[in-house]
Structures are given as C-alpha cells and as structure tokens.
Chain A
Amino acid sequence: MDNNYFNEGDVEMQVNGEQIRVEAPLTVMALLEQQNYQPNRIAVEVNEVIVPKAQYETFMLSDCDRVEIVCFVGGG
C-alpha cells in the first residue's frame, strides 16, 4: 500500500475536494505548511480517519489519499 518510501516522484491527492499534485514523500505537517494552515487551529482526516495532532510530523501521505482539513476561527 504505502510505497511513498520507494517513490520519490509526484503523488496526487485530493485535499478538501480539490485534486493536487505534490512531491513525495510528504507528511501531514509538510502538507499543512505548503497550504499555509496553522496546525493548532485545524483538524485533519485522511481517508475518513482522524489524524491525531501528535502524528502530523510522522504520518506519511500516499498517492490517491483523500485529505480533509477543517480550519477554525475564534469566537463563540
């Protein structure tokens, strides 16, 4: 399944419904940085499973992943 380790090329994934092409290997954290998200203000789901904040640095994204990033603003 996870062949990012062997594949240094581009991978394609869906982020918030949009198809993007990124350079692999790529962690969740690297994707968040590329997309200018503040890691403390978001929740991330990959293929419908929540990625805990403690795993952002280590969780590797793969080709065809569906990533959902929900960003929150203050107030309530």
Chain B
Amino acid sequence: MQEYEEMLQQKMAARHSPGVHERMKRSIVGIAGLGGLGSNIAAMLARMGVGHLVLADFDVVEPGNLNRQNYFVSQLGKYKTEATAEQLLQINPFITVEFHTVRVDEQNAASLFGGCDVVCEAFDNPESKAMLVSTLLGECAGVKLVCGSGMAGIGSSNEILTRRRMSRLYVCGDGLSEAATGIMAPRVIICAGHQANMAVRLLMGVEEA
C-alpha cells in the first residue's frame, strides 16, 4: 500500500510544473464559502497541489446546487465542507484539508483565515463579501484576498476579468451581473478559474492582476 502511494505521488508530481509545485506544496490557501465559486476553486487548488487548504461553509448540499457546484447526487444533504473535503482527497491525497462548518462572520474570520497566504472569497451574498474584505484586510496583515463579484447570466466570457483593487485585494468577475439573473455553471466556473489562477500567481510572488 505504501509503495503504491509513493508511486502515485511520484507519477502525479511528474506532471506538475517544475518550480511551481514546490511552492504550492508549502502554501496555505483559505476558501470562504463552498458554493459555485468555492467548490470549484477548491478542486483546482487541490489539483495544483496546494499543500494545505482551509475551507469554511455552514450549508448542506441541495439539489439546486448541482447546476453549478462541484457536488454529486450521492452527496445531497451532506455539509459542503465534508463533501468538498471528501472529493479533494480523491483528487489529491497528498494535501491536507482543514474544514470549519460555521458561518463566517466578523468575529471568527480572522481566526479562521489569519494563517493563510491567500484567501479566496466565494460567498453568495454581497454583504458577506464586503464583511470578509474589511475584516481580513483590516485584521490580518499578511493575508491577500481574491474575491468574486459578478458572474451570473450568460453574458460574454470575455467580460470576466481579474482586477487589483487594493494593495492586497483582487476582484474577479464582470462587476455587474448579480445573482438575480440566474447563476450558471460556465460563467461561475470561469470566475472560479480567475480566482484560482490569481491565488496561484500570488503564491508564486506575482502581484500583477
């Protein structure tokens, strides 16, 4: 069994980009919210081999999530934290996943995510997005934040951009398309890709959006 694991790890590592993988392995990334953005960001960062992921969400997987969120029918009713952690270890068993089944708020945000190099904000409602930005940038000196804002509808993919809005804040999305327009898999996953890639860039020391 141990031989098999070593072989698996070697074969997986052989496909990682040299230089990138070592840096990823030493990194800690937080994901706040495990809906359409967060569940997909988590899967991408696990594939990248980010060494430690910190997940937080309070919700359970529901049928209405399956149109865009990275869950299966077999996971309906499970906490999203547990369902995501389960999947991540199937994607990459050589990372560690820490999860917190809580509602992230002003009181707990800094203690949940203060140890992260980068945090990906992946909440649904705009008040929570704003709360996380103010709290983490205000209270956690080293943490960089990558948010999602505006990815609903079927507008052009090319309107989704990554922008650096503050010294430690990046915002991905079109900035306009609200949830009321209906959120669908392609655009939310494009935005998740923007966030995951910006997180990877920051971990590699690239600060340009």
**A contact residues vs B (CB 8 Å cutoff):** 40-45, 48, 50-53, 68, 70-76
Contact = CB atoms under 8 A, between A and B. Distances in A.
Contacts of B122: 76
B196 interface: no
A76 B191 CA distance: 9
Interface of B: 33, 35-38, 122-127, 129-131, 133-134, 137-138, 147-152, 165-167, 169, 171, 173, 175-180, 183, 188
A75 B171 contact: no
B177 A72 contact: no
Q: Is the interface of A mostly helix, strand, loop or mixed?
A: mixed
A48 B125 contact: no
B130 A41 contact: yes
B138 A75 contact: no
Nearest to B124: A76
B134 A73 contact: no
Contact of B130 (A40, A48, A68, A76): A40
Contact of B126 (A44, A45, A48, A73): A73
A50 B178 contact: no
Contacts of B178: 73-75
Given A48-B167, A52-B138, A76 B127 contact: no
A-B complex: 5 closest residue pairs judged by Cβ atoms: A75-B179, A43-B133, A72-B129, A74-B179, A72-B126
Nearest to B136: A50
Contact of B134 (A53, A68, A75): A53
Contacts of B137: 43, 45, 50
